[in-house]
Structure 1
Amino acid sequence: MPLLQFNLVQGSWTKPQVKTILDLAYDTTLEVFHAPEGDRYQTVSFFDPDYLVMADTGLGFNRSPHRIMLNIRTRPRPEAEKLTFYKTFLAKLQATFDFDPHDLMIDMVENGDADWSFANGQAQFITGEL
């Protein structure tokens, strides 16, 4: 935990590039969220460009087909940790790819311990297993 859900434009990234994006995000969760090693939950969905709409919300920029919409579900985190995650993940993308910072959008949704069941129909944060 956290659960990272990546939304990408179909055909804009190669399979090895997608793997690298996932690895960079995982490394960022270890570094910033202090997630334990092996705590990796990620999904990737691909969309026709017309179905992954990321407007600029009036900020005055355009996005390319390499845009990434990242949805994160996580236990509550301090604001400073969230802001550090945004900057750190972007910096890793920019250091690895010729990545436009306007092409990254991240949203975090917080939830509680009872909202996670990793297996066996139990809430491991509540049972004390995690």
Structure 2
Amino acid sequence: MPLVRFDLIEGRSEKEIRKLLDVAHHATVEALGIPENDRYQIVYQHPENEMIIDDTGLGLNRTKNKVVISYTSKSRTNEQKQKLYKLLMKELGEECGIAPDDIMISITSNDDADWSFGRGEAQYLTGAL
């Protein structure tokens, strides 16, 4: 955990998507201190006209290479979140060629009772995790 959703404009190859997921997972492990095998990622691809991601008045120059990364996670510190933002920007730029203006990240926090990893159990509450 966390659960990470990637919204992309369709057209990336399978290899490019896998690289994006691997690089993002590496940054997530490093920034949030989660176990390496704690990996839950979902990719959604959209036609270009279905992703309107404006710059919010910040002067961002978005391209067709943009990606929105949405985390649903147990609460994290502000320091962890800021480290994650910086690592994602750095590593996705270096490894995947995604410009900083094309990376948008959102984190939604929840609690232990909000997770069931299967079998109809809340594993954080039962002590299984």
With structure 1 as the length reference, what TM-score do the two structures score? Answer: 0.96
Deviations 1:75-118 (A, max 9, x none): 00000100000000111011113321100000000000000000
Is 2:1 aligned against 1:5?
A: no
Q: What are the ranges of 5 or more consecutive residues in structure 2 without an aligned counterpart?
A: none
Distance 2:60 2:85 in 1: 18
Distance 2:52 2:121 in 1: 36
Matches within 5 A, 1:1-130: 1-11=1-11, 13-130=12-129
Q: What are the ranges of 5 or more consecutive residues in structure 1 without an aligned counterpart?
A: none
Distance 1:106 1:48 in 2: 20
Following superposition, which runs of at least 4 residues in structure 1 exceed 3 angstroms of deviation? none
Query: Counterpart of 1:97 in structure 2: which amino acid?
Result: C
Deviations 1:9-44 (A, max 9, x none): 011x22101100100111112111111121000000
Q: Please, what is the CA RMSD of the aligned residues?
A: 0.8
Would you say how many aligned residue pairs link Structure 1 and Structure 2? Answer: 129
* DSSP-derived class of the 2:117 partner: coil
* DSSP-derived class of the 2:8 partner: strand
With structure 2 as the length reference, what TM-score do the two structures score? Answer: 0.97
Report sequence identity in percent.
Answer: 36
